[in-house]
Chain A
Amino acid sequence: MKYLDEFRDRRLAEALVRRIAQTSSGRLNLMEVCGTHTVTILRNGIKQLLADETNLISGPGCPVCVTSNQDLDKAIAMARHQGVILASFGDMMNVPGTSSNLQKERAGGRDIRMVYSAMDAVKSAKANPDKKVILLAIGFETTAPTIASSILEAHKQGLENFLVFCIHKLIPPAMKALLEMGEINIDGFICPGHVSAIIGSRPYQFIAQNYRIPCVVTGFEPLDVLQAIYMLILQRREGRCGVEIQYSRAVREEGNPTASKLLGEVFEVCDAQWRGLGMIPGSGLKLRGKYERFDALKNLELQIEDSREPQGCICGEILRGIKEPFECKLFGERCNPEDPVGPCMVSSEGTCAAYYKYNPRSE
């Protein structure tokens, strides 16, 4: 088993597509919550392939995209702070804040470094004892355990100059908020695979039970997605509403207990501001009192500019799944990957960037 070819096999894919067509009894609105799924769907042409059976809607599952302008402006203010090294993941570099972005700040002489893992930031703190190293901690449940372990490591090493700006977010509360808004009619959720590898499949149970919407935890290869869509169609057809795991090679019902313990040790749940979705109760993570000394917001005096949302940008509606990128007046013209207006055009996982690149509209 090599885990790649097997999940991209043409014959199996064709068989699944046939079965989906045979089983389907009407076009279903299915939301893929996670940006990586959006990319798989568009890159492999699945959206067009199943256009008769499904309307695939992209959800709020790109961590860069849901970061609010206000949080970005705070990160920029941190980078401008005297004696600070800001450590950021690659796809945050180009996200526009109210009047600047990290790439521009770096070009202007701020010390902003791209890291590939949270531990790189800890190493950087150790190597630069006269500077404060701030890790821009963004992501969902998938990456939160790595941030937690970096904090524990810094704690163990007694590092005084390692700080974290934690804007981590949680997926299930956002799904709930989306459903509560009632703007969109969803027949099934393609649930994120990597988030679920940490939290398991139980946190989606309320969606199946209270909202009567089937959920399938899904892997990221084309065959994974096709199979998950088939499983969702089957559930609907048979009148079932459950949470099923398609991505069984990585996800267990109970999730990853070690990672969950790590999260519980370092973080507690808090309310969080989402772009497009607003303030969602219980959807963020903040450092527990014991680790407060690592909290960048509590340990720095910042001068933050008044945040404004970019004019004409409909990232918020796109993140809620009520509009497609093509419906945005700025899409592809004023807003493009070279000069993005909204965050959905920045990250490779962002809905607009994926639509721009894989253009599922035209033949």
Chain B
Amino acid sequence: MGREKILLAHGSGGKLSYELIKGLFLSAFENPVLGELDDSARLDPVEARLAFSTDSYTVKPLFFPGGDIGKLAIYGTVNDLAMAGASAKYISISFIIEEGFSLDALRDIVDSITQAAKHTGVKIVTGDTKVVEKGEADQLFINTTGIGYIRGGVDISGRNGQLGDLVLLSGSIGDHSTAVLSQREGFQFQTDLRSDCASLHCLVKEMLDASTKIHVLRDPTRGGLATVLWEVANASRVGIVIEEERVKVREEVRGVCDLLGFDPYYLANEGKLVALVPQSEAERVLEAMRENPLGREAMIIGRTVEENPGRVLLKTGIGGHRLLEPLSGELLPRIC
């Protein structure tokens, strides 16, 4: 059993495909909408505004401290929906699998997907599996697309930042990238660092319970905190000033960054959010964040300003300042 591999026939639409779908996916993701097994999932009509988001997931290694590609694929899309103030309801999932991939590993990933879906209350209602020849994909790629209902009275967008808003960050930055990097071939960092991979739907709900006047929510995934802040400053045409001292970076993360020449402001996070909130609401929202385990280390890290619209100024820990520019190019480890 343990040596079973995915074969091209698992994706051909024939008997093996059927067994894989029925035996693995259907039994794991079980729900009435998926159970109809039609070409399309049919969803009930709703009053709410809808949020709709898609993302493809590739990560190396597939399993890392604190998570795996399956958990990432669910939480990532649920989080994207949450950043519009929406709670995720339905999700589609597509697998592109490289021939020869371990069936056991796939089972573990499906298991993790099931748990993540259960935790977030999202239903997997449609899906697809393709198997490609060895070498045509790197082990496993997953795409998820989600639909969520936007809470009434809420208007959250990257364009909604206003003068006088405070910038809130839910916790430390760079944990995910560093945890994944430390597991790559060739690195032998001994850290206890885990990915922060988490679903932000509860945190967002509690923040919105505290105030529906939140202007902007973003999760700083690829491109990191710097890129997200820059995007918001641009879309909202405001300047943003950040106090470096207030941005938490774990010591292990700083160590790894120093070694490889990376900057934690550009590293991906998978369970953090940035919020722009009117000053009058900020304390209340911050308090709500800190009561949730995912926001325990939340801080007000800065504010919007009139000067330099579209730019993000970082006041450095030693009293200097510099501009935070968006990520450019690719992060490549340095020589010395």
| Interface positions of A (Cβ within 8 A of B) | 2, 4-5, 8-10, 13-14, 17, 36, 39, 42-46, 48-49, 63-64, 89-94, 114-117, 120, 138-140, 142-143, 194, 220, 222-223, 226, 336-338, 340, 347-349, 353, 356-360, 362-363
Contact = CB atoms under 8 A, between A and B. Distances in A.
Contact of B329 (A4, A13, A143, A338): A338
Contact of A140 (B308, B323, B336): B336
Contact of B317 (A143, A220, A222): A222
Interface residues of B, number: 33
24 contacts: A9-B318, A10-B318, A17-B319, A43-B263, A43-B316, A44-B317, A44-B320, A64-B335, A89-B335, A91-B333, A91-B335, A94-B332, A114-B332, A116-B186, A116-B333, A139-B335, A222-B316, A336-B328, A337-B328, A337-B329, A353-B329, A356-B325, A359-B322, A363-B308
Contacts of A226: 318
Given A338-B328, A349-B261, A89 B321 contact: no
Given A94-B329, A337-B329, A115 B186 contact: yes
A17 B336 CA distance: 28
B325 A357 contact: yes
B152 interface: no
Name the residue among B262, B263, B316, B335 with the largest chain A CB count within 10 angstroms: B335
Name the residue among B255, B263, B313, B334 with the largest chain A CB count within 10 angstroms: B334
Contacts of B328: 336-338, 356-357
Contacts of B334: 89-91, 347-349
B245 A10 contact: yes
Contacts of B308: 362-363
B320 A46 contact: yes
Contacts of A49: 318-320
Those 8 A-B pairs whose CB atoms lie nearest each other, nearest first: A45-B320, A337-B329, A13-B318, A90-B333, A90-B332, A337-B328, A49-B320, A348-B261
A172 B192 CA distance: 40
A89 B333 CA distance: 7
A90 B187 CA distance: 13
A92 to B, nearest CB: 7
Given A43-B322, A120-B186, A360-B322, A8 B332 contact: no
A42 B322 CA distance: 7
A348 B332 contact: yes
Nearest to B245: A10
Given A44-B316, A63-B335, A359-B322, 18 more contacts: A4-B255, A44-B322, A46-B318, A63-B336, A89-B334, A93-B332, A94-B330, A114-B332, A116-B186, A120-B186, A140-B336, A143-B336, A194-B336, A337-B328, A340-B329, A348-B262, A357-B325, A358-B325
A171 to B, nearest CB: 11
Interface in B296-315: 307-308, 311, 313-314
Interface string B276-310: 00000000000000000000000000000001100
A358 B319 contact: no
Nearest to A4: B254
B111 to A, nearest CB: 32
B251 interface: yes
A204 B251 CA distance: 34
B323 A44 contact: no
Contacts of A117: 186
B251 A2 contact: yes
A44 B254 CA distance: 14
B186 A358 contact: no
Given A45-B320, A49-B320, A348-B334, A4 B325 contact: no
A139 B333 CA distance: 14
Nearest to A357: B325
Contacts of B319: 10, 13-14, 17, 45, 49
Contacts of A115: 186
Contact of A359 (B186, B255, B323, B335): B323
Given A356-B328, A363-B308, A223 B318 contact: yes
B129 to A, nearest CB: 28
Given A115-B186, A116-B186, A117-B186, A362 B329 contact: no
Contact of B336 (A139, A336, A357): A139
Contacts of A43: 263, 316, 322
Contacts of B263: 43, 357
Contact of B335 (A45, A46, A347): A347
Nearest to A7: B318
A336 B254 CA distance: 26
B329 to A, nearest CB: 3
Nearest to A223: B318
A45 B332 contact: no
B65 to A, nearest CB: 19
A93 B187 CA distance: 18
A222 B318 contact: yes
Contacts of A143: 335-336
Nearest to A2: B251
B323 A48 contact: no
B323 A362 contact: yes
Given A39-B261, A362-B323, A44 B318 contact: yes
A178 B53 CA distance: 55
A363 B323 CA distance: 8
A358 B333 contact: no
Contacts of A5: 251
Interface string B240-281: 000001000001001100100111000000000000000000
Contacts of A116: 186-187, 333
A14 B319 CA distance: 7
B332 to A, nearest CB: 4
A359 B318 contact: no
B92 to A, nearest CB: 31
A347 to B, nearest CB: 6
Contact of A91 (B307, B320, B332): B332
Name the residue among B187, B333, B336 with the largest chain A CB count within 10 angstroms: B336
Name the residue among A142, A222, A223, A340 with the largest chain B CB count within 10 angstroms: A222
A51 B261 CA distance: 25
Given A45-B322, A90-B332, A347-B334, A8 B317 contact: yes
A336 B327 CA distance: 11
Contacts of A142: 336
